[in-house]
């Protein structure tokens, strides 16, 4: 009869190895599963691209929540540099030249920092794109430093929010809201001389953008008689364009030619109805009502 002791010992050794290795295998499996776990960001990232002037501005930042905490003067201390968000540094990218305060800013990507206070705040545009804490900030990298007056909000804002407001052809505000505080960074761009140069150039070409040129003149306080003349040429190119008639009526109204404006608006209504565009019917009716 063969001796079974060697086999028994070998089996016992194999079992012992399995018992010893099992906890380590479980740890490795748990770690692998944890790497695949997806959960919501505590401070979600947001990227906003705003067309502005003849270019655009892109804002990238993270949005922490109040979560029952006291924010300004506590979580975000007064008088200290703040990344103006959470997680990664907040950045602004300009595709065209802008002006902030009295400083011209070249196209490019910049870090946006702030120093919150009871009054006023300080906004900083910096060449640094890596500032996530006050210790990393280097004042010699400042491009712009400008103060802004905060205003108190009636209702609290739970999630840190930044947005472009009051967007006009050559001016907009980057507004910050959180807790019960709002504060804005004004941004401007000088595009008029470039647009006027473009108009002068294209009006000497074969394909003349009469409507766009007339609309720019109308909206930017230029020669309204010239705007009307260009709208007439645009209408000759596209006789059924109710929107051109509407803008011509606006120009005539600003010139004080009320009856001509009314007749032009009525023509716009006729064309808009034929093309089932009630929005322009209403716009023209409002314009006519304002002429009385």
Q: What is the tens place of the pLDDT at every residue in 38-67?
A: 888 889 999 999 999 999 999 999 999 999
Spatial distance between the Cα atoms of 109 and 269, rounded to a whole number of angstroms: 46
- Of 232, 230, 203, the closest CA to residue 217 belongs to 230
pLDDT band at 172 (very low <50, low <70, confident <90, very high): very high
pLDDT on residue 10: 57
End-to-end alpha carbon distance in the chain: 122
pLDDT band at 18 (very low <50, low <70, confident <90, very high): low
pLDDT band at 274 (very low <50, low <70, confident <90, very high): very high
Spatial distance between the Cα atoms of 39 and 246, rounded to a whole number of angstroms: 52
Reported as a single tens digit per residue, the pLDDT across 217-259 is 999 999 999 999 999 999 999 999 999 999 999 999 999 999 9
- State the virtual CA torsion across 31, 37, 43, 46 in degrees, nearest 10: 130
Whether residue 14 is predicted with pLDDT greater than 70 in this model: the reply is: no
pLDDT on residue 207: 82
pLDDT band at 29 (very low <50, low <70, confident <90, very high): low
How many H-runs (helices) and E-runs (strands) does the chain carry?
Answer: 7, 10
**Mean pLDDT calculated for residue range 181-202:** 92
**Mean pLDDT calculated for residue range 11-32:** 56
Q: What residues contact 113, with CB distance under 8 A and at least 6 apart?
A: 81, 82, 83, 84, 90, 123, 124, 125, 126, 131, 137
- Of 240, 243, 213, 242, the closest CA to residue 228 belongs to 213
Contact call for residues 255 and 224 (beta carbons, < 8 A) = yes
Spatial distance between the Cα atoms of 263 and 269, rounded to a whole number of angstroms: 10
Whether residue 147 is predicted with pLDDT greater than 60 in this model: the reply is: yes
pLDDT on residue 206: 78
Give the bridge partners for 181, in sequence order.
Answer: 152, 178
pLDDT on residue 41: 85
What is the rounded average pLDDT for all residues in the chain? 90
Whether residue 8 is predicted with pLDDT greater than 60 in this model: the reply is: no
**What is the Cβ-side half-sphere exposure of residue 128, based on CA atoms within 13 angstroms?**
19
Whether residue 215 is predicted with pLDDT greater than 70 in this model: the reply is: yes
Task: Give the residue with greater pLDDT, 186 vs 37.
Answer: 186
Residue 94's φ and ψ, nearest 5 degrees, are: -105, 125
Whether residue 25 is predicted with pLDDT greater than 60 in this model: the reply is: no
Q: Collapsing DSSP states into helix, strand and coil, what is residue 37?
A: coil
pLDDT on residue 36: 80
How many other C-beta atoms can be found within 10 angstroms of the C-beta atom of residue 126? 23
Please tell me the pTM assigned to this model. Answer: 0.74
Radius of gyration of the chain (CA): 32
Spatial distance between the Cα atoms of 86 and 42, rounded to a whole number of angstroms: 10
pLDDT band at 277 (very low <50, low <70, confident <90, very high): very high
Where b means 16+ CB within 10 Å and e means fewer, 132-167 reads eeeeebeeeeebbbbebebeeeeeebeebebebeee
Strands (E), the chain: 45-52, 55-62, 91-94, 98-100, 103-105, 108-115, 121-126, 142-148, 151-168, 171-188
pLDDT band at 85 (very low <50, low <70, confident <90, very high): very high
Reported as a single tens digit per residue, the pLDDT across 92-140 is 999 999 999 999 999 999 999 999 999 999 999 999 999 998 999 999 9
Contact call for residues 233 and 200 (beta carbons, < 8 A) = no
Contact call for residues 217 and 233 (beta carbons, < 8 A) = no
């Amino acid at each position: 009869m063969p001796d079974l002791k060697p086999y028994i010992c070998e089996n016992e050794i194999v079992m012992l190895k399995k018992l010893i290795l099992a906890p380590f295998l479980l740890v490795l499996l748990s770690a692998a599963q944890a790497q695949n776990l997806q959960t919501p960001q505590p401070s979600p990232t947001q990227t906003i691209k705003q067309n502005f002037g003849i270019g655009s501005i892109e804002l990238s930042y993270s949005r922490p929540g109040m979560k029952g905490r006291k924010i300004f003067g506590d979580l975000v201390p007064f008088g200290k540099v703040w990344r103006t968000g959470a997680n990664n540094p907040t950045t602004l990218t300009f595709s065209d030249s802008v002006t902030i305060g009295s400083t011209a800013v070249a196209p490019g990507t910049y870090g946006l920092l702030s120093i919150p206070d009871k009054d006023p705040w300080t906004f900083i545009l910096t060449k640094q794109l890596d500032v996530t804490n006050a210790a990393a900030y280097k004042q010699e990298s400042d491009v712009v430093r400008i103060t802004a007056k905060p205003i108190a909000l009636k209702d609290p804002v739970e999630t840190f929010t930044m947005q472009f407001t009051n967007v006009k052809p050559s001016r907009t505000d980057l507004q910050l809201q959180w807790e019960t505080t709002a504060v804005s960074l004004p941004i401007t761009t000088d595009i008029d001389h470039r647009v006027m140069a473009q108009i002068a150039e294209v009006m000497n070409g074969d394909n003349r953008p009469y409507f766009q040129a007339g609309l720019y003149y109308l909206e930017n306080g230029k020669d309204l008689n010239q705007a009307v003349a260009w709208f007439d040429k645009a209408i000759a190119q596209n006789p059924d364009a109710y929107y051109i008639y509407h803008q011509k009526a606006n120009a005539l109204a600003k010139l004080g030619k009320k009856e001509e404006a009314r007749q032009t608006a009525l023509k716009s209504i006729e064309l808009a109805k034929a093309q089932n565009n009630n929005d322009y019917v209403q716009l023209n009716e409002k314009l006519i009502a304002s002429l009385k």
